[in-house]
Amino acid sequence: MSTYDSSIRIDSGRLWRSLGELGEVGAYFDADADLRGVRRLALTDADLAGRELVVGWMRAAGLTVTTDRIGNVYGRRAGVDDTSAPVLIGSHIDTVATAGRFDGCLGVLGGLEVVRTLNDHGVSTTRPIELAIFTEEEGVRFGTDMLGSAVAAGRIELDRARERSDPDGVTVGAELDRHGLVGEVAVPIRPPFAYLECHIEQGPILAAAGTRIGVVRGVQAITWLELQISGRAAHAGTTPQRLRRNAGLAAALITVRLNEMVESGAYGQMLATVGRQVNYPNLINIVPERTLITVDLRNHDGAAMRRAEDDLTAYIAEVEERTGVTVAARTTARTPPVVFPQGMRDLVEKHAANLGMSSDQVTSGAGHDAGEIAALCPAGMIFVPGLYDGISHNPREYSTPEACADGVNVLLHAVTELACTAR
Ligand code: GLV
Ligand code: MN
Ligand code: MN
């Protein structure tokens, strides 16, 4: 084993090949994008196949692999002082149903590339380094995002997490048991020394400015709601307006109001999305009896988020009054804004500068496991630019091999510095 050398670099070809290989697991042809996309929803057979591939690579890189009670995987590279708290690198490999190859996978495979590079150069570190794959980061199957890292960090209790079910009624617990993913590591996990995650930006800022590295300030607040709107089914041709209780109309009113709230500017940098809408019976000549909509709210400012939630609740009552429907609202996810410690941001910025890369501070629009692990230890993130306006959660998501390598080289040096820190 030799000492650390600041001139070492990752093998960008190997990183790119790994991203490509994992991207074939759960691949499908997306006719709208005219591209191959990835569909690896959490705890499905495809997710399992992805995990098996990556865990095989972890073992081949000499990592000791363990699993916690919610199926998060940890691959450990021993440190010289192996009893000291590890530096944790992590992200997720579960995807939305229409994904590209980068979201989450860059963080996990970038962490693996860090380990492979340290191995190639015979670098030993004082602290152990662990590489985590977190369960159900996306939240699209079981309805709440960052589920695995939230359990690891203690925000969500294990039993509550296991009870969550997908639209077919299959629970997280049943899937963990079916796949043999309930491991020995207790949750909440023991606090790591520090946590770092490399991720595609998933937005337009870095590419538009020609900036190579995003130093992530923090993660904005996220609230997810599910609104079950109940009206009355009726014949479209014979039911006069005054006798209608149209659930679809109520959904439309709420959707338009959310857009008006965003455009009013009265709630800071709010974003609102109605991403899922299901009508029943969903037929051309029947007034919808029931409509389910989801509401995704984002805001940099936690107080503005709460005001928006309160004002939406008041508006929903108005819609009930006006249309005669009833609305049952359920909050399925709620995370406050997270600010990463200045020291972690400085570390990322310093290593970007040492490597001759431009960098700028950005606040993450997307949710990330780093936002959860920040409750346990100093956490930070490194963003790399994505092309095509930063499109993500879509097969068009793309970051160049050079941009991915930039982010992982910064990860390599920042992690190595942390892992060589005695206390
Ligand atoms: C996770 O990707 C989210 O921000 O929805
Ligand atoms: Mn992600
Ligand atoms: Mn995502």
Are residues 277 and 174 both part of a single domain? Answer: no
Nearest ligand, measured from the Cα of 103: 2
How far away, in angstroms, is 242 Cα from ligand 3 center?
44
Q: Is 289 in the pocket of ligand 1 (CB under 6 A)?
A: no
Are residues 76 and 202 both part of a single domain? Answer: yes
- CATH classification at residue 109: 3.40.630.10
Nearest to 299 by CA among 326, 335, 264, 333: 335
Asked if residues 121 and 67 have their Cβ atoms less than 8 Å apart, the reply is no
Q: Is residue 328 part of a domain?
A: yes
pLDDT of res. 4: 74
- CATH classification at residue 253: 3.30.70.360
Are residues 82 and 214 both part of a single domain? Answer: yes
pLDDT exceeds cutoff 50 at 62: yes
Are residues 128 and 187 both part of a single domain? Answer: yes
pLDDT of res. 422: 79
Residue of 138, 201, 295, 334 with the most ligand 1 atoms within 8 Å of its CB, for mutation = 138
pLDDT exceeds cutoff 50 at 1: no
Are residues 127 and 239 both part of a single domain? Answer: no
Can you give the length of the chain in residues? 423
pLDDT, mean of residues 74-79 = 98
Q: Could you tell me the residue range of the domain that residue 93 belongs to?
A: 12-220+337-419
Are residues 174 and 238 both part of a single domain? Answer: no
pLDDT of res. 423: 65
Q: Is residue 382 part of a domain?
A: yes
CA distances from 237 to 241, 251, 287 (A): 10, 21, 10
Cβ neighbours of residue 6 under 8 Å, at least 6 residues apart?
Answer: 354, 413
35-38 and 64-67 beta bridge pairing:
unpaired
pLDDT of res. 5: 84
Are residues 22 and 139 both part of a single domain? Answer: yes
pLDDT exceeds cutoff 60 at 306: yes
How far away, in angstroms, is 40 Cα from ligand 1 center?
15
Are residues 61 and 197 both part of a single domain? Answer: yes
Q: Point out the domain boundary residue: 335, 354, 384.
A: 335
Helix (H) / strand (E) element for 277: namely strand 277-280
Q: Is residue 7 part of a domain?
A: no
Count of the separate structural domains present in the chain: 2
Q: Is 371 in the pocket of ligand 1 (CB under 6 A)?
A: no
Q: Is 203 in the pocket of ligand 1 (CB under 6 A)?
A: no
How is residue 70 annotated by DSSP?
Answer: T
Rounded Cα–Cα distance for residues 344 and 380 (Å)? 5
Q: Is 367 in the pocket of ligand 1 (CB under 6 A)?
A: yes
Mean pLDDT computed over every residue of the chain: 97
Rounded Cα–Cα distance for residues 379 and 88 (Å)? 9
Rounded Cα–Cα distance for residues 138 and 105 (Å)? 12
Q: Point out the domain boundary residue: 274, 307, 335.
A: 335
Helices first, then strands: H and E counts in the chain = 12, 18
pLDDT exceeds cutoff 70 at 183: yes
Tens digits of per-residue pLDDT, 208-241? 999 999 999 999 999 999 999 999 999 999 999 9
Residue of 40, 145, 338, 391 with the most ligand 1 atoms within 8 Å of its CB, for mutation = 145
pLDDT exceeds cutoff 70 at 257: yes
Q: Which atom of ligand 1 is nearest to the CA of 296?
A: 5
Q: Is residue 124 part of a domain?
A: yes
Tens digits of per-residue pLDDT, 145-158? 999 999 999 999 99
Q: Is residue 226 part of a domain?
A: no
Are residues 184 and 134 both part of a single domain? Answer: yes
What residues have their beta carbon closer than 5 A to ion ligand 3?
103
Cβ neighbours of residue 398 under 8 Å, at least 6 residues apart?
Answer: 100, 102, 386, 387, 388
| Banded pLDDT at 3 (limits 50, 70, 90) | low
Cβ neighbours of residue 252 under 8 Å, at least 6 residues apart?
Answer: none
Helix, strand, or coil here: 316? helix
CB atoms within 10 A of CB 409: 27
Q: Is 145 in the pocket of ligand 1 (CB under 6 A)?
A: yes
Q: Is residue 273 part of a domain?
A: yes
Are residues 183 and 319 both part of a single domain? Answer: no
Q: Point out the domain boundary residue: 335, 356, 379.
A: 335
Nearest ligand, measured from the Cα of 201: 2
Radius of gyration of the chain (CA): 23
- The fraction of the chain above a pLDDT of 70, given in percent, is 99
Tens digits of per-residue pLDDT, 111-145? 999 999 999 999 999 999 999 999 999 999 999 99
Are residues 243 and 310 both part of a single domain? Answer: yes
Helix (H) / strand (E) element for 360: namely strand 359-364
Rounded Cα–Cα distance for residues 260 and 129 (Å)? 47
Rounded Cα–Cα distance for residues 309 and 261 (Å)? 11
Rounded Cα–Cα distance for residues 51 and 47 (Å)? 6
Are residues 309 and 348 both part of a single domain? Answer: no
CB atoms within 10 A of CB 150: 30
Tens digits of per-residue pLDDT, 329-374? 999 999 999 999 999 999 999 999 999 999 999 999 999 999 999 9
How far away, in angstroms, is 410 Cα from ligand 2 center?
18
Helix (H) / strand (E) element for 334: namely strand 326-335
- Reported pTM: 0.96
Q: Is 366 in the pocket of ligand 1 (CB under 6 A)?
A: yes
Tens digits of per-residue pLDDT, 85-109? 999 999 999 999 999 999 999 999 9
pLDDT exceeds cutoff 90 at 377: yes
Q: Is residue 2 part of a domain?
A: no
